[in-house]
Structure 1
Amino acid sequence: MSKGNNANSSLNSFGARDSLKVGDKSYEIYRLDAVKGTEKLPYSLKVLAENLLRTEDGANITKDHIEAIANWDPDAEPSVEIQFTPARVIMQDFTGVPCIVDLATMREAIGDLGGDPDKVNPLAPADLVIDHSVIADLFGRADAFERNVEIEYERNGERYQFLRWGQGAFNDFKVVPPGTGIVHQVNIEYLARVVWERDGVAYPDTAVGTDSHTTMQNGLGVLGWGVGGIEAEAAMLGQPVSMLIPRVVGFKLTGERRPGVTATDVVLTVTEMLRKHGVVGKFVEFYGDGVAEVPLANRATLGNMSPEFGSTAAIFPIDDVTIDYMRMTGRSEEQLALVEAYAKEQGMWHDPEREPKYSEYIELDLSDVVPSIAGPKRPQDRIALDEAKEAFRRDIHNYVDEHQPTQYTKLDDAVDDTFPASDPVRNIEYADNGTLHDHESATSAAVGAKGRPSKPVSIKSDELGEFELDHGAVVIAAITSCTNTSNPEVMLGAALLAKNAVEKGLATKPWVKTTMAPGSQVVTDYYDKAGLWPYLEKLGFYLVGYGCTTCIGNSGPLPEEISKAVNDADLSVTAVLSGNRNFEGRINPDVKMNYLASPPLVIAYALAGTMDFDFEKDCLGTDKDGNQIFLKDIWPTQKDIDNTIAEAINTEMFTKNYADVFKGDERWRNLPTPSGNTFEWADDSTYVRKPPYFDGMPAEPEPVTDIKGARVLALLGDSVTTDHISPAGAIKPGTPAAEYLESNGVERKDYNSYGSRRGNHEVMIRGTFANIRLRNQLLDDVSGGYTRDFTNGGEQAFIYDAAQNYAAQGIPLVVLGGKEYGSGSSRDWAAKGTSLLGVRAVITESFERIHRSNLIGMGVIPLQFPEGESAASLKLDGTETFDISGIEALNDGKTPKTVHVTATKEDGSKVEFDAVVRIDTPGEADYYRNGGILQYVLRNMLKTQ
């Protein structure tokens, strides 16, 4: 197996190992020009080529793989699988907890086997930023930030204690405490190095992360993307991530933005273009003369939205803009010199005169971009701002007609399953109008031939005042999320707009929940230095936290009066946020229509109070002389924004804020935290529990065995996604997970979500295959997490309960599926839960690549029906008993191409076929022989101690 980022692990077949002198320091490097053909590659593939050169081991990473990337055919469909070894791993707190739980468990296991627990550490540096747990409960007041952080600690104390223990116990693992910033912003401002140096070897900085918007680092020239927990754990433990050499889409930027057009407008335009073009599974690489005109913060904004395009990465090469940003954010001059020298030596420095070959081409003249928003439910549905009112009136019909239950929209998200496709959401959403103008009201606009008439709802509140709510009312205006909230141009643009509005006497509408959640504490510093906080606060945009908040659904509750009116009258109200996701049901359960907009437009909509508004024709109010005020009257000029950036931002802000970034505030430092090199698991914890992966594990792997007498846990159709398999969303009363929590003294109000309880395998197993839309064909016309339990006469039972009964009788399990099994997001618990339920094999028509690999990583063998065959064509109905022979051939160090499956029906008749073994690489075979990737790594650690 690859030994991570240790240069000495390379076979160096091409003689690429060399040295690079920078100043008075010398670094070992792997020269790309040692391999013919690499000079013409796009920047992103050069990064991959160097990665393969440096980690060549002759088994998983071979000379053939290096030649395959050097001879990359831009026009070919991806077919060559390679093993990519990231320099580091970055995690957020929801998805990072299980990774650290597993690492803590490995320490105990290695101790039980006579090894040294202290030697169990990440083999690649890992950083975890706690940013997903803050909720904007309080807003519009000076103490909102302090109170929200207090509540966050109350809700998440157990998890935070565990993570703080991990911070002290593990080498190469650091935790950025709550209230610091958003993971991706902390990454580009501090953690990312662009060129990494370790053990004297210099190489490109690459990182995979347990959040889909890890791609924000692409703006800095750092390749990487969001992955599931198992891939992240593998990378953290020095194992490579499997991938296909991708197609690369060249995105040419030309021209300059017009005045009044923001980075957000560019991003929404690019999102729309790339969604239409089709870039799923591809790299996008920006090039052309226009690249030099794109500030780094805007590049990061574009990189951040890669999951919304559907691409794996959206990257900018290294150039002077990269170096200037690194200098501004406080990186050392030695680091800057290394980045520039390395990039130029390796042909990775952006040169507009030398255009690489790309698989596909697309072009945008930045002068064509106009102010835009996107909505009401998808980031790619861009609307030009001057058409927004018309678009709202067109869309509102879909939200006030017949009572159709709203579904969560499928996320293209590698890891963020806080708000999954699987769960239904209440058919309530906010609409809010407020001031009616000289045009017809939103209510009249919403009443069509099929529409349901409603009239505005009058509200009288001691706190909020007296007003009317109507369809389209903006009830949430949130400057939130990693995409925009540290981009100085749009953040200072928003603050200057607020200043101009206040000076004109404008105010936000009383029904709007206004929140400000910057991605970095540096924003607070430059707001203070520019003297702009008072204006934002005057409009209600007080600091509520440094974290994801509204964009991941942590918007907090609406004021009671607003929520009641919305629900009682079934109003379709709206949210406007500066984030990247606006799927139905994601932002707030009361809000049906969600729009993405730049931070200045978020404030503009808070002033307007309704989506039923035309900023060109409708005035926002009047000044003290009675003159009408329009958006154009308060929109800051580019010169004002540029001058404020120059005056208000300096390097010291970054060096000060990141000087003690891992230290945390008094709350963090005073958390009662266990000490010692192994974790003291609390028996009564319902959040963090020791998983059973290593229970009874011997130092040497036992031989793998054939499968005898297995029963079918689930018979599934085509396109079963990891959302169908993995536990996600709210924990529903009456389910096995809820029953477990209740038996441990947890009240219904404290169930929380599967996401927050990822560190407790007992909860997660009970939620595996429990999706309410899963259709198990063992049952007729039943959806949800049910099966037939053949230990109990074939009676219907929860999948978890049946699996427990099978385990008690020593009966192994199989799952049968159709085409594209495990497609969608690569959720780690889709594989972990499958394994812990006792499933030994999954037999399908075809697999999604990453889920197939994850199953092997958890000791489950993926098998495929013979070409052209399926469960239906073989007349398998799931009542059979399965014997699978030929697996034992793996004990001889070889992977069989097929194994023999015999399915015996209740009447004794048999169906026999040869299933294709989908263990595709030598590394995967090693994992499977060891019972899983964690067991493989643990035994290797034991051998090297």
Structure 2
Amino acid sequence: MKSVDSFKALHQLDVGGQSYDYYRLDAVRGDGLDVASLPYGLKILLENLLRTEDGGDVTADDIRALAAWNPAAEPDREIAFTPARVVLQDFTGVPAVVDLAAMREAMQALGGDPQKINPLAPVELVIDHSVIVDDFGKPSSFERNVQIEYERNMERYQFLRWGQSAFDNFKVVPPGTGIVHQVNLEHLARVVFTRDEQGRQLAYPDTCVGTDSHTPMVNGLGVVAWGVGGIEAEAAMLGQPISMLIPRVVGFKLTGQMPEGTTATDLVLTITDMLRKHGVVGKFVEFYGPGVSAVPLANRATIGNMSPEYGSTISMFPIDDETLRYMELTGRSTEQIELVRAYAQAQGLWHDPQHEPRYSERLELDLSTVVPSIAGPKRPQDRIALSSSKPSFRTAVRDLLGDDVATYDEAVEESFPASDVPSHKPPAPRKAAVEFTLADGSQCTLDHGSVVIAAITSCTNTSNPSVMMAAGLLAKKAVEKGLSRKPWVKTSLAPGSRVVTDYYQRAGLTPYLDKLGFDLVGYGCTTCIGNSGPLIPEVSQAINQNDLAVVSTLSGNRNFEGRIHPEVKMNYLMSPPLVVAYALAGTMDIDLYQEPLGQGSDGKDVYLKDIWPSAAEVQDVISKAIASDMYRDGYADVFAGDERWRSLPTPQGDRFEWQDDSTYVRKPPYFIDLKRDPSPVTDIRGARVLAKLGDSVTTDHISPAGSIARMSPAATYLMEHDVKPQDFNSYGSRRGNHEVMIRGTFANVRLRNQLAPGTEGGYTRDFTQDGAPVATIYDASRNYLNAAVPLVILAGKEYGSGSSRDWAAKGTVLLGVRAVIAESYERIHRSNLLGMGVMPLQFPAGQNAETLGLTGDEVFDIEGITALNQDKIPEKVKVRAGEIEFEALVRIDTPSEAHYYRHGGIMQYVLRGLLKA
């Protein structure tokens, strides 16, 4: 549909003999309208409004409001953003396609046209989350893991093959290609999009939303993109604009250059630390200034990737010569590159290092001040200078073990920089050394702090040649010195794309990584999402028999509790070369600046400084080993897949034939007895608390993820359906089966429900039973459901931080939860709750469950929700919990979100809208 074009913005742009239509930003003029000084990201939103102006969802007043944006004001203006495309990964993509398949049936049942349920925007799904590190440390590991992956996921892959043929505008990148964000960065992202419109080529900025919170990785290319829940993504796929408030924008000025010995990981952990402390949840972050040109594109992508770790919606880098160099390196066509240059320059989207747009807030970083860093042991924003890693670890393990520690070790003080000596000196951990022998005869000594997983994995770093080459060079130097990994360490290399192994081969570094056990295990997101696979059996036994606090080191972006491996209590993020270094050391209880990694073949101590490659060495290898033909060849036929993929039997037809005995893909219950019109919303009365939770409860705590514990409700269900424990697979792989996912919601082994003190995991108290005994959250929820008792969740600050997991909201609603009352929310999860018809409420400022005296034993009434039936969004509702009363803030932030809630969720809202269209 053509724009109303109130500002007569449609013009022509000639590039290399090709003429394009485009909507000029400088056509928006008038008193108080200043387009030139808008931040780059808001300029792209402005173009989006100009192009989609229809007088309804987008009006001329919306365009004026954005052009007149006041950086000092709090967000209060809603706009409708229409992304150019949608990106999915398979964990979140499978349930999205399941929902679309179910919506087709619901549409037909209501007398509508099921073909209306079809993606209107291009959708690209990358299968990258299913490979598990079952096999490692061998030349055959990759082939073996792929074989197991197909055996485990045959049903899911056949279902996605069906979706590729049943839905228009839907493409699938098969397994074994790479991580969705790296494929997006290296191939899928256009930077400037084009489409045919009535015989003319229309050019406009590439924008996308993705069902993974790390979608902002392509912000490094100048692409406005962010993570949304699967529910929101489905609406975008069906042509619904995404409602959003015009955000505040934080300008982050970069100056100087990175010092020798630091990496992109050190930079991103520093920025994550700064922005999390500053507070950027729900805001745009934009990098500008003279230092931007000194940041390579891969480093920009690494920074963008970490946006959810510090809470911003996007972390934008403007387009410049570095953008074009990267596009050329990764095999984009000359015509596309020239279009990007011409379009960016014509629209004021080209970076001017001297230009300072108007920003809501400003931060500044001199790149020369960045120091080597890691983060952990359980949050990515908890940055630790590498020089303080040993005492920091000892403090963390003391906190973990409590009184089970020895007297303070004087050596700890020496390992602190003078300015960082703690006022309370951390004691050394109690020595619990356990000696044992592996099946291959290797002698092991395991203790608190022993590194049992060392993984080069995740989109954060495996897209970055500088840190990947540094890891390869460090491995080469280590092998040449005669070092080897400690035998208790499970090592793995899971690159973001096949290009990485191509340039390792070309650089001659593969044999050295293999020698240290970093053999290729797969192309995909492995350890970072909990697909680390089983530990070495004897190691696992030693950990469990002696209750050891062991460590994983990974080049990832997530290290939340219980995420990496259920037997590993401490997890540290770091650069790929440091992952290799800690695999050599075998412990976190080491000062890498002062203590040797081991002894070389000559019997002499080898220190990190002896094998750390210089920036010049790294750059020299990059210049010789990486070329654009590697990217062109690697992505030449990216959607075709290998013989395994092409030979999969594929179901046919426009409607999916559900299999009653399937444990992977089942018809979801969201549209059962759906009426053409929604029923009025009601207040919540007689509700019980299902869980009372503290601060920083992540979607990892809420949504089922990682391995399925053998004694869990989900395991019971699978075994009742004749699935053997060795075939359980992961929760993520079973997201297309709501029965498994309900049973795994709030079942994280590290969840601490204050309603059931003394327990850890998915437990609560069941007030439908005499004495309110402790029960699993799933079993208690079934009893509440049978008794028609609604449920609420009480939580602290930053509720729902972490990955954009739609099942954190889907599982919540299917357990019977009607409302969540928290101190604050992370953006995506709050949106997802509303997308599933759950009311997000917020405690009054400065108050929480503790200050109000809530124990979780109370019966809750929530009054005032019915105002939504009169098209009013109540600012507050009255909450009565026994004798306690307070007013909770209603976190319905836009009129569109109010529509979703009234309809029982965004899918029901979209379905009814398409039915009447």
- TM-score bin (small chain): 0.7 to 0.9
Match of 1:86 in 2: 83
Tell me if 1:937 matches 2:914.
no
Q: Which has the larger displacement, 147-156 or 762-771?
A: 762-771
**Counterpart contact for 1:775–1:784, Cα < 8 Å:** no
1:862–1:645: structure 2 CA closer, same or farther, 3 Å change rule?
closer
Query: 322-331 or 150-159, which moves further after superposition?
Result: 150-159
Could you tell which deviates more after superposition, 323-332 or 628-637? Answer: 628-637
Q: Distance in 2 between matches of 1:722 and 1:386?
A: 29
Aligned partner of 1:186 in structure 2 is 183
SS at match of 1:339: helix
**Paired AA for residue 85 in structure 2:** R
Change (3 A) 1:787 1:125: farther
Cα offsets for 1:878-928 (capped at 9, x unmatched)? 7699998967955xxx558699999999xxxx9999999876655446546
Q: 1:169 to 1:831 in 2, by over 3 A?
A: same
Taking the TM superposition and a 5 Å limit, the aligned residue runs for 1:464-863 are 464-621=441-598, 628-697=605-674, 701-702=676-677, 704-705=679-680, 707=682, 712=687, 714=689, 723=699, 737=714, 739-747=716-724, 750-751=727-728, 753-766=730-743, 773-774=752-753, 784-785=763-764, 787-789=766-768, 813=790, 824=801, 827-833=805-811, 835-836=813-814, 854=832, 857-858=835-836
List per-residue Cα deviations over 1:264-290 (Å, max 9, x = no partner): 222222222223333222222111111
Q: Given the two structures, how large is their TM-score scaled by the length of structure 2?
A: 0.85
Q: How does 1:377-396 map to 2 (within 5 A)?
A: 377-396=378-397
Kept after mapping to 2: 8 A contact 1:140/1:542 = yes
Q: Does 1:103 align with 2:78?
A: no
Of the structure 1 ranges 123-132 and 51-60, higher mean CA displacement relative to structure 2 is found in: 51-60
Cα distance in structure 2, aligned partners of 1:785 and 1:369: 45
Shift of residue 220, structure 1, vs aligned partner: 0.8
Corresponding residue number in structure 2 for 1:444: none
Please name the residue that 2:69 is paired with. 72
- Structure 1 vs Structure 2: percent identity of aligned residues? 62
Check the 8 A contact 1:812/1:840 in 2, yes or no: no
* Contact 1:845–1:869, Cα closer than 8 Å, also in 2: yes
Q: Is contact 2:328-2:628 (8 Å) kept? A: yes
In structure 2, which of residues 26, 43, 66 is the aligned counterpart of residue 33 of structure 1? 26
Conserved? CA contact 2:404–2:430, under 8 Å: no
Structure 1 residue 134, shift from structure 2 partner: 1.4
How far does residue 502 in structure 1 lie from its aligned partner after superposition?
Answer: 2.4
Counterparts of 1:24-173 in structure 2, within 5 Å, are: 24-35=17-28, 36-113=33-110, 115-173=112-170
TM-score (norm 1): 0.83
Relative to structure 2, which stretch is displaced further, 866-875 or 202-211? 866-875
Query: How far apart are 1:308 and its partner, in Å?
Result: 2.1
Q: Any idea what SS the aligned residue of 1:127 has? A: strand
Per-residue deviation, residues 35-79 of structure 1 (Å, max 9, x unmatched): 231211111111222222223344443333333322222223333
Q: Deviations over 1:404-461 (max 9, x none)?
A: 9xxxxxxxxxxxxxxxxxxxxxxxxxxxxxxx9xx99xxxxxxx99777435333333
Using the TM superposition, give the Cα deviation of residue 181 of structure 1 relative to its aligned residue in structure 2, in angstroms: 0.5
- Most deviating of 739-748 and 847-856: 847-856
Q: Assess if the C-alpha contact under 8 Å between 2:664 and 2:736 holds in 1.
A: yes
Structure 2's unaligned 5+ residue stretches are 406-410, 416-424
Instruction: Determine the structure 1 residue equivalent to 2:314.
Output: 313
- SS of 1:26's equivalent? strand
Q: CA deviation at 1:518?
A: 0.9
Deviation at 1:145, TM superposition (A): 0.4
1:362-395 Cα deviation digits (max 9, x unpaired): 2222222233333333333333334434444454
Aligned partners of 2:454 and 2:558: how far apart in 1?
Answer: 14
The one-letter code of the counterpart of 2:92 is: T
2:659 partner SS: coil
DSSP 3-state at the match of 2:139: coil
Encode CA deviations 1:581-616: one digit per residue, 9 max, x unaligned: 233433233333332222222222223333343444
More displaced stretch, 879-888 vs 832-841: 879-888
Deviation at residue 258 of structure 1 after TM alignment: 2.3
Whole-angstrom CA distance in 2 between matches of 1:365 and 1:865: 39
- Pair 1:324-2:325 in alignment: yes
- Matches of 1:734 and 1:760 in 2, distance apart? 19
The answer to whether the 8 A contact 2:117-2:238 is kept is no
Within 5 A, what are the aligned runs for 1:190-589?
Answer: 190-199=187-196, 200-402=201-403, 453-454=430-431, 456-589=433-566
Q: Which amino acid aligns with 1:666?
A: E
Note closer, same or farther for the CA distance 1:849–1:355 as it changes in structure 2 (3 Å cut).
Answer: closer
Q: Verify the 8 A CA contact 1:713 1:787 in the aligned structure 2.
A: no
Please, which moves more after superposition, 267-276 or 828-837?
Answer: 828-837
CA distance in 2, matches of 1:915, 1:471: 44
Change (3 A) 1:275 1:918: closer
Return the letter of the residue paired with 1:310.
Answer: G
**How far apart are the structure 2 equivalents of 1:378 and 1:68?**
38
Q: Distance in 2 between matches of 1:535 and 1:847?
A: 45
After superposition, give the CA deviation of every residue in 1:194-231 in whole Å (9 maximum; x if it has no partner).
Answer: 11122333221111211121111111111122222211
Q: Is there any run of 5+ residues in structure 1 with no aligned partner, and where?
A: 1-5, 405-435, 441-447
Question: What code does the residue aligned with 2:127 have?
Answer: I
Please give the secondary structure, in 1, of the residue aligned with 2:623: helix
Query: Which residue among 16, 23, 30 is the counterpart of 1:23?
Result: 16
The verdict on how the C-alpha distance between 1:13 and 1:732 changes in structure 2, with shifts beyond 3 A counting, is same
Q: Which range moved further: 348-357 or 10-19?
A: 10-19
Q: 1:395 to 1:898 in 2, by over 3 A?
A: closer
What is the aligned partner in structure 2 of residue 417 from structure 1? none
What amino acid is aligned across from residue 911 of structure 2 in structure 1?
L
Amino acid at match of 2:910: V
Larger displacement relative to structure 2 (388-397 or 247-256): 388-397
Query: C-alpha separation between the residues in 2 aligned to 1:68 and 1:804?
Result: 48
Equivalent residues of 1:86, 1:235 under 8 A apart: yes
Secondary structure at the counterpart of residue 203 of structure 2? strand
String of CA shifts for 1:115-140, please: whole Å, max 9, x gaps.
55445321221111111121212111
CA 1:601–1:17: 2 relative to 1, 3 Å: same
- The whole-number CA distance in structure 2 between the counterparts of 1:923 and 1:156 is 37
Alpha-carbon distance between aligned partners in 1 of 2:785 and 2:401, rounded to the nearest angstrom: 50
SS, match of residue 461 in structure 2: coil
CA separation in 2, counterparts of 1:740 and 1:360? 51
Q: Quick check: 1:275–1:309 contact (8 Å CA) kept in 2? A: yes
Give the drift of 1:800: 6.3
**Cα RMSD, aligned residues only:** 4.3
Aligned-pair CA distance for 1:941: 4.0
Decide whether the 8 Å contact of 2:451 with 2:586 is kept in 1. Answer: yes
AA in 2 matched with 1:583? F
Taking a change above 3 Å as real, the CA distance of residues 847 and 320 of structure 1, as seen in their structure-2 partners, is closer
